[in-house]
């Protein structure tokens, strides 16, 4: 099945890196794109008009969390995520599998699906490939993810065959997911697994491509493997994926992870790093990372980043933001998250420009260094 | 001493109620006015431009909290509260006495001042009438409050003479405060004490008036006394206060407290009720109080208050706000606080109109009933 109302366009390439757009029923997303994480249907403390103002074009919501509260029926009754929340643009929902594995208690995974105790009320619940599609159809996201089995790529999990078994099961679940689909206006992305084993990654990508998804994600990464292993895993899968399908690197990351991913042909990213790190006082700037809690910012009247056009940098000083974050005042987390997300959106727009000009390699090298630096 | 750059105007009266304005060095405040509480120099989760958009004209900051963090020297270095925070309009700072009594550990009060252990680091600190003025001068607020001794008006505290002794000490401290003043551009308000004893209230008000403050506050109320006792205490003091000085009812309250106060000639109010209650899901509406966590709002697509013009009511449903507050998502507290503060500002603008039309009594009676009602 091919979802209706979607169209991927590649405007320019530079090596494996590419820039273009994905049309969805609720708007067009310029790629490569970063999706701010709206766990419960809201990005921590930020209103929809603010996300629009910093050029966010698509948000990610957590299927598991929304299934628990308020429940997908309520979201559906109010017109899906676009009707329920303030964000009228495109939404991607994850499958909930990762959240269940990492958050839920007494998790039991078998061929049927995953059974666990709710973090909310302790009740036993089961998610299957079919139910996860049904929940996301009710949530009304533009892009849904299949349920996958995600095993951290340790030497042991590879040696014991855990990664291989999880990769095979993910493929069988993917097949069940395609058969479960009922909503033509929703794209569904398959998820490549295989740990750091490039042959498993390729086999997984080929299997998913044969099933025919609307897009493909690189899953099970950012779980302890090295940066080089991760790049190789993404590159290996890419060769087996259709050129004209969107590719999404799940849950990563830091600005350098975005640049790594773009170099390997990734179109979509999501991560809690900009919001969570912001809340803890770690701010990304054009001059490097700034730990705002540091005493040297106590009476610093400069903006967080003089080259940034966000509300935070336009109206507030480093000294004030430091004070708010130290006092755990809600406005601090909000202003910090807004700035970091603006930094991400701006970084991606620079990356898109560099790809168009065939200068992505030099852009990446320059930024790699700058991003690791500490701002004066 | 008379502060420079201040002017109180009474435009209309209706019984003891009055409407007008107070000019300050950072802008003119229409009275009666409600001051949102910005404990650490920020109203919980709200940006300055949002407070302006709902017609807030003056904010209140906590001297004790800002003395602890970031310290008044830093605020002074950055240009006072207007330079340090995003709010460029008028600020009032409380004296910190109430916070010390209610929050600090091992509090010891004697004629010199109040000694306590910091809630932050446990260190012993002392606040005196003189140091409290000096701190507020460094903070650069437009209106500073004197240090007072605040004793809850119980039958015992009256019978044992505690209230009388605290009232006399507050007068002696007030005298020291006037002598400590060095900054001509800052108004200082004296604080009337006396519990629920109308004669003590009058004596306190007369004593302060003789000292000559720029404004007068009713202190030590909202601590267990009845609504009638409170109104009588405020009325008794009023008769001994100069007509053309601003009057401020400290720390109260609920919408009905505002109407009670206005009826007794109060010009200024502050309270954490709109922000704190909002965070807990209690919303004030033109149809009465709405407990948004209630299950009957689970799929309610209506705005919190169809008659409200705030961002929350313009862009979000009851169902979404309920969901955010249940999930403890920061956007929920922010949207609820914004709405409640807008409700307060709107209520006061209606009250001002009613005073101008000589219809305050009927307005008050109508709203008293409506405010207690539950919205359908």
Q: Cα(B266)–Cα(A179) distance, rounded to whole angstroms?
A: 69
Q: Is A39 on the interface with B (CB under 8 A)?
A: yes
- Are A331 and B85 a contacting pair at CB < 8 A? no
- Answer whether residue B91 shows pLDDT above 70: yes
Task: Please give, rounded to a whole number of angstroms, the shortest distance from the CA of B173 to a CA of chain A.
Answer: 31
Question: Which among B43, B320, B321, B341 is the top mutation candidate for probing chain A, defined by the most A β-carbons within 10 Å of its own β-carbon?
Answer: B320
Closest CA to A200 of A186, A182, A218, A215: A218
- Name the residue in chain A with its Cα closest to that of B322: A70
Domains in chain B with CATH codes: 7-270 (3.20.20.105), 278-366 (no CATH)
- Answer whether residue B375 shows pLDDT above 60: no
pLDDT at residue number A376: 44
- A102 pLDDT band (50/70/90 cuts)? confident
Q: Cα(B364)–Cα(A209) distance, rounded to whole angstroms?
A: 70
Between A157 and B96, the more confident residue is: A157
Q: What is the pLDDT of residues B199-235, one digit of tens each?
A: 999 999 999 999 999 999 999 999 999 999 999 999 9
- Answer whether residue B1 shows pLDDT above 70: no
pLDDT at residue number B29: 98
Out of A214, A260, A270, A305, which one is annotated catalytic?
A270
How many A-B residue pairs are in contact by the CB < 8 A criterion? 118
* Chain A residues whose beta carbon lies within 8 Å of the beta carbon of residue B40: 323-324, 327, 329
- Are B78 and A320 a contacting pair at CB < 8 A? yes
* pLDDT (average), residues B124-145: 97
- Quote the crossing angle between the two packed helices B198-211 and B162-180, to the nearest 10°: 10
Closest CA to A127 of A110, A141, A139, A143: A110
Residue B222 CA: distances (Å) to CA of B195, B271, B371: 10, 11, 18
Residue-averaged pLDDT of chain A: 95
Half-sphere exposure of A106 (CA within 13 A, CB side): 9
Q: Provide, rounded to the nearest whole percent, the portion of chain A with pLDDT above 70.
A: 98
Omega of the bond leading into A32 within 30 degrees of 0 (cis) = yes
Residue A319 CA: distances (Å) to CA of A290, B67, B189: 12, 15, 30
- Answer whether residue B373 shows pLDDT above 70: no
- A121 pLDDT band (50/70/90 cuts)? confident
- Are B331 and A69 a contacting pair at CB < 8 A? no
Q: Is A48 on the interface with B (CB under 8 A)?
A: yes
Q: Cα(A157)–Cα(A162) distance, rounded to whole angstroms?
A: 5
- Are A69 and B45 a contacting pair at CB < 8 A? no
Q: Between A65, A299, A330, which is nearest B330 by CB?
A: A330
Q: What is the pLDDT of residues B349-358, one digit of tens each?
A: 999 999 999 9
- Answer whether residue A104 shows pLDDT above 90: no
- B102 pLDDT band (50/70/90 cuts)? confident
Q: Cα(B34)–Cα(B269) distance, rounded to whole angstroms?
A: 5
Residue B374 dihedral angles phi and psi, to the nearest 5°: -95, 135
pLDDT at residue number A105: 74
Q: What is the pLDDT of residues B241-264, one digit of tens each?
A: 999 999 999 999 899 999 999 999
- Answer whether residue A274 shows pLDDT above 70: yes
Q: What is the pLDDT of residues A190-211, one digit of tens each?
A: 999 999 999 999 999 999 999 9
Q: Between A77, A298, A331, which is nearest B46 by CB?
A: A331
Q: What is the pLDDT of residues A282-334, one digit of tens each?
A: 999 998 999 999 999 999 999 999 999 999 999 999 999 999 999 999 999 99
- Answer whether residue A348 shows pLDDT above 90: yes
- B97 pLDDT band (50/70/90 cuts)? confident
Q: Cα(B185)–Cα(B6) distance, rounded to whole angstroms?
A: 8
pLDDT at residue number B2: 83
Q: Is A320 on the interface with B (CB under 8 A)?
A: yes
CB B86 within 8 A of CB A315: yes
Between A35 and A96, the more confident residue is: A35
Q: Provide, rounded to the nearest whole percent, the portion of chain B with pLDDT above 90.
A: 89
Q: Cα(A304)–Cα(A315) distance, rounded to whole angstroms?
A: 10
Interface predicted TM-score of the whole assembly (ipTM), two decimals: 0.96
* pLDDT (average), residues B83-94: 98
pLDDT at residue number A374: 57
* pLDDT (average), residues A234-242: 97
- Are B40 and A323 a contacting pair at CB < 8 A? yes
Out of B257, B260, B270, B305, which one is annotated catalytic?
B270
* Chain A residues whose beta carbon lies within 8 Å of the beta carbon of residue B84: 317, 319-320, 323
* Chain B residues whose beta carbon lies within 8 Å of the beta carbon of residue A74: 298-299, 319, 323
pLDDT at residue number A222: 94
* Chain B residues whose beta carbon lies within 8 Å of the beta carbon of residue A330: 44-45, 330, 333-334
pLDDT at residue number A1: 53
Whether B270 is catalytic is: yes
Contacts of residue B300, defined as CB under 8 A and 6 or more positions apart, other chains included, come to: B317, B318, B319, B322
Whether A270 is catalytic is: yes
- Are A77 and B299 a contacting pair at CB < 8 A? yes
Tell me if residue A190 falls in helix, strand or coil. strand
Task: Please give, rounded to a whole number of angstroms, the shortest distance from the CA of A328 to a CA of chain B.
Answer: 10
3-state secondary structure chain B: CCCCCCEEEEEEEECCEEEEEEEECCEEEEECEEEEECCCCCCCCCCHHHHHHCCCCCEEECHHHHHHCCCHHHHHHCCHHHHHCCCCCCEEECCCHHHHHHHCEEEEECCCCEEEECCCCCCEEEECHHHHHHHHHHHCCCEEECCCCCCCCCHHHHHCCHHHHHHHHHHHHHHHHHHHCCCCCCEEEEEECCCCCHHHHHHHHHHHHHHCCCEEEECCCCCCCCHHHHHHHHHHHHCCCCCCCCEEECCCCCHHHHHHHHHCCCCEEEECHHHHHHHCCEEEECCEEEECCCHHHCCCCCCCCCCCCCHHHHHCCHHHHHHHHHCCCHHHHHHHHHHHHHHHHHHHHHHHHHHHCCCHHHHHHHHHHHHHCECC
Q: Between B47, B77, B315, which is nearest A86 by CB?
A: B315
- Name the residue in chain B with its Cα closest to that of A38: B329
Q: Is A317 on the interface with B (CB under 8 A)?
A: yes
Q: Is B40 on the interface with A (CB under 8 A)?
A: yes
pTM of the model: 0.97
Q: What is the pLDDT of residues A62-92, one digit of tens each?
A: 999 999 999 999 999 999 999 999 999 999 9
Question: Which among A40, A46, A83, A297 is the top mutation candidate for probing chain B, defined by the most B β-carbons within 10 Å of its own β-carbon?
Answer: A40
């Amino acid at each position: 099945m091919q979802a209706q109302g979607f169209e991927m366009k590649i405007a320019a390439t530079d090596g494996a890196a590419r820039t273009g757009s994905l049309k969805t029923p609720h708007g067009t997303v310029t790629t490569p794109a970063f999706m701010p994480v709206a766990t419960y249907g809201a990005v921590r403390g930020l209103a929809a008009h603010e996300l629009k103002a910093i050029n966010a074009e698509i948000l990610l919501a957590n299927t598991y969390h929304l299934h628990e509260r308020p429940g997908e029926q309520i979201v559906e009754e109010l017109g899906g995520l676009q009707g329920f929340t303030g964000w009228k643009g495109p939404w991607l929902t994850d499958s909930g599998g990762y959240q269940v594995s990492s958050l839920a208690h007494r998790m039991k995974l078998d061929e049927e699906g995953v059974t666990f105790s709710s973090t909310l009320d302790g009740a036993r619940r089961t998610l299957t490939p079919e139910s996860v599609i049904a929940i996301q159809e009710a949530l009304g996201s533009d892009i849904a993810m299949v349920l996958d089995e995600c095993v951290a790529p340790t030497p042991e999990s590879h040696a014991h065959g855990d990664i291989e078994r999880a990769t095979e099961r993910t493929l069988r679940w993917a097949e069940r997911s395609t058969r479960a689909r009922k909503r033509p206006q929703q794209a569904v992305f398959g998820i490549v697994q295989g740990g750091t084993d490039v042959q498993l990654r390729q086999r997984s990508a080929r299997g998913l491509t044969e099933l025919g998804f609307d897009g493909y994600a690189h899953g099970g990464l950012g779980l302890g493997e090295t940066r080089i292993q991760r790049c190789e895993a993404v590159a290996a899968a890419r060769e087996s994926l259709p050129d004209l399908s969107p590719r999404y690197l799940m849950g990563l990351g830091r600005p350098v992870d975005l640049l790594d991913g773009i170099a390997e042909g990734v179109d979509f990213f999501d991560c809690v790093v900009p919001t969570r790190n912001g809340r803890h006082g770690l701010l990304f700037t054009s001059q490097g990372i700034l730990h705002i809690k540091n005493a040297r910012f106590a009476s610093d009247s400069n903006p967080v980043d003089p080259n940034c056009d966000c509300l935070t940098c336009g109206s507030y000083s480093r000294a004030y933001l430091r004070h708010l974050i130290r006092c755990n005042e809600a406005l601090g987390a909000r202003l910090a998250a807004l700035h970091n997300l603006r930094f991400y959106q701006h970084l991606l727009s620079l990356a898109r420009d560099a790809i168009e000009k065939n200068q992505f390699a030099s852009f990446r090298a320059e930024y790699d260094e700058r991003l690791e630096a500490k701002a004066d």
